[in-house]
A = this chain, B = another copy of it.
Amino acid sequence: MSAEERREAVVRAALAEFARGGYVGTSTGAIARRVGVSQPYLFRLFPDKRAIFLAAAARCCEQIRARLADASDGLPPDEAAGAMGEAYAQLTADREQLLFQMQMYAAAGVAEESGDHDFAEQLRRSWGEIWDLVHLRLGADDGRTVGFMGQGMLINAFLALNLPPGHRSWQACGAAPDGG
Chain A residues proximal to chain B, CB less than 8 Å? 19-25, 95, 98-99, 102-103, 105-110, 112-114, 120, 123-124, 127-128, 131-132, 135, 142-143, 145-147, 149-151, 153-154, 156-157, 160-163, 167-169, 171-173
State how many copies of this chain the complex holds.
Answer: 2
Across the interface, do A99 and B113 meet the contact criterion of CB distance under 8 Å?
Answer: yes
Q: How far is the CA of A160 from the CA of B128 in the complex (A)?
A: 14
CA distance A23 to B26 in the complex (A): 12
Contact of A22 among B106, B123, B135, B145 (CB under 8 A): B106
Q: Which B residues are CB-close (under 8 A) to A156?
A: 105, 153
Q: Do A161 and B110 have beta carbons less than 8 Å apart?
A: no
Closest chain-B Cβ to A107's Cβ sits at a distance in Å of 8
A162 near B20: Cβ-Cβ < 8 Å? no
CA distance A50 to B26 in the complex (A): 17
Q: A123 to B171, alpha carbons, bound, how many Å?
A: 19
Residue pair A163, B110 in contact (C-beta under 8 Å): no
* A106 and B102 contact, Cβ closer than 8 Å, known pairs A131-B169, A168-B131: yes
